[in-house]
Amino acid sequence: MLVLRLLNVVAPAYFLCISLVTFVLQIFLFIPSMFRDPSTTPLFSPALLHGALFLFLSANALGNYVLVIQSSPEDLGKDLNLGKGAEVADWLDGSRSPGSALPSTHFCRLCARVTQRHDHHCFFTGNCIGSRNMRNFIMFCLYTSLACLDSLVAGMAYISATLSMSFADPLAFLTLLPHSISQFFSGALLSSEMFVILMLYLWLGIGLACAGFCCHQMLLILRGQTRYQVRKGMVVRARPWRENLREVFGKKWLLGLLIPVLNVESNYRRQKEK
Output the CA–CA distances (angstroms, integers) from residue 175 to 22, 56, 181, 202, in the order listed.
23, 32, 10, 15
- Amino acid code (one letter) for 188: A
β-bridge mates for residue 127, sequence order: 122
Apex 158 CA angle, 156 and 159, nearest 5 = 65
CB-CB contact of 123 with 13 (8 Å): no
Q: CA-CA-CA-CA torsion for 233, 236, 242, 248, nearest 10 degrees?
A: -70
Question: Which stretch of DSSP H or E encloses residue 182?
Answer: helix 176-185
Q: Catalytic residue, from 17, 111, 122, 128: name it.
A: 122
Residues pairing with 120 in the sheet: 129
141: annotated active-site residue: no
Catalytic residue set: 122
